[in-house]
């Protein structure tokens, strides 16, 4: 029987659903990364590994460990590392010809203000890394841009790189689509009166139809960053249509399951096991 590992740190509902589905298809090795010692090059004898750590550094390093054991790892350490950086993701999406919101990088407060002027206010300022809309700011005027970027400079480190994006006038919602092995089996709208629509921040989930254009975009976005199981964030621009914001390599899916009824963890488990059988 196929032996698979689930690498995790926080056991959320998503992980519990995955555990159940993996156990139906394989022998499961549960690895709670924070309380484990992972030796590079010498593992517990698993054929495949599913990476689910919410800590980015736990995720990249433990996926790397699983790869060093020769386990077929989903997602790969490389793709997790690439997708976590918004600038790197943008570069890969551009090279694949995928439409994204206009974005600028600036390296000082003054140039951040210049970038915002060029993009047209309001603008969105985001940290290069981070999720759930954390530290994302909507700046309506130059003073706000200045205040936010000054604060980021004060935080230092990675925050000194200003990632500034045009504000897309989306219709009170954005789209989170699941992508599993080159298919997009389910998507939701995240509906909110606030510009940050993440369900972790109070957005309401509703089922979304995945049309051919959306599916194509979502699948190509994941391919561009090398992500096999991903959650793709998409906004709808009134004129340009779908624009891809980013690809998440350790995607939460419980809300997608709840409102669409699609067995996302089952599809992920099936995909992982099928990689070994090949």
Ligand X SMILES: Nc1ncnc2c1ncn2[C@@H]1O[C@H](COP(=O)(O)OP(=O)(O)OP(=O)(O)O)[C@@H](O)[C@H]1O
Q: Pick from ligand X, other proteins, none: which does 35 bind, CB < 5 to 8 A by kind?
A: other proteins
Contact 253, 260 (CB under 8 A): no
Smaller CB distance to other proteins: residue 114 or 160? 160
Residues that bind other proteins (CB under 8 A): 8-12, 15-16, 19, 30, 32, 34-35, 54-57, 84, 129-132, 134, 231, 248-252
x/- map, 129-148, ligand X, by CB under 6 A: -xxxxx-x------------
Give 123's strand partners: 139, 166
Alpha carbon distances (Å) from 168 to 171, 206, 242, 245:
9, 20, 10, 10
Alpha carbon distances (Å) from 11 to 46, 113, 270:
20, 42, 20
* Residues 52-91 close enough to bind ligand X by CB under 6 A: none
Among the candidate windows 112-120, 143-151, 216-224, 241-249, which touches ligand X by CB under 6 A?
241-249
* Shortest reach from residue 233's CB to other proteins, in Å: 9
CA distance 108 to 92: 25
* Shortest reach from residue 44's CB to ligand X, in Å: 31
Asked if 263 is part of the footprint of ligand X (rule: CB under 6 A), the reply reads no
CA distance 244 to 100: 5
Smaller CB distance to ligand X: residue 153 or 195? 195
Smaller CB distance to other proteins: residue 63 or 115? 63
Closest CA to 54 of 14, 5, 4, 3: 14
Give 232's strand partners: 177, 247
Angle between helices 13-23 and 264-277 (to 10 degrees): 50
Among the candidate windows 52-60, 73-81, 150-158, 240-248, which touches ligand X by CB under 6 A?
240-248
CA distance 146 to 106: 12
x/- map, 148-177, ligand X, by CB under 6 A: -----------------xxxx-x---x---
Please compute, for residue 225, the number of CA atoms within 13 A of its CA located in the half-sphere on the CB side.
Answer: 36
Give 32's strand partners: 8
Q: Pick from other proteins, ligand X, none: which does 174 bind, CB < 5 to 8 A by kind?
A: ligand X
Among the candidate windows 58-66, 148-156, 196-204, 267-275, which touches ligand X by CB under 6 A?
196-204
Point out which residues bind ligand X (CB under 6 A): 101, 124, 126, 130-134, 136, 165-168, 170, 174, 195-198, 233, 235, 245-246, 248
């Amino acid at each position: 029987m196929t032996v698979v590992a689930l690498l995790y740190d926080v056991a959320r509902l998503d992980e519990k659903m995955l555990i159940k589905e993996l156990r139906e298809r394989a022998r499961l090795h549960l690895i709670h990364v924070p309380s484990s010692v992972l030796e590079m090059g010498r593992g517990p004898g698993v054929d495949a590994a599913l990476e689910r750590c919410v800590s980015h550094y736990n995720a990249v390093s433990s996926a790397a460990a699983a790869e060093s054991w020769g386990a077929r790892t989903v997602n790969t350490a490389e793709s997790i590392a690439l997708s976590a950086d918004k600038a790197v993701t943008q570069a890969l999406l551009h090279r694949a010809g995928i439409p994204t919101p206009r974005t600028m990088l600036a390296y000082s407060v003054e140039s951040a203000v210049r970038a915002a002027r060029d993009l047209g206010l309001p603008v969105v300022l985001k940290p290069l890394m981070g999720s759930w809309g954390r530290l994302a700011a909507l700046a309506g005027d130059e003073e706000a841009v200045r205040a936010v970027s000054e604060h980021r400079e004060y935080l230092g480190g990675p925050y000194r790189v200003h990632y500034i994006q045009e504000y897309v006038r989306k219709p009170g919602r954005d789209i989170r689509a699941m992508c599993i092995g080159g298919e997009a089996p389910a998507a939701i709208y995240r509906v909110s009166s606030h510009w940050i629509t993440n369900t972790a921040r109070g957005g309401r989930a509703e089922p979304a139809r995945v049309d051919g254009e959306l599916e194509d975009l979502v699948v190509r976005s994941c391919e561009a960053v090398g992500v096999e199981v991903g959650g793709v964030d998409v906004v709808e621009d009134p004129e340009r249509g779908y624009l891809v914001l980013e690809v998440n390599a350790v995607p939460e899916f419980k809300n997608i399951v709840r409102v669409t009824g699609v067995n996302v963890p089952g599809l992920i488990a099936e995909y992982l096991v099928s990689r070994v059988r090949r």
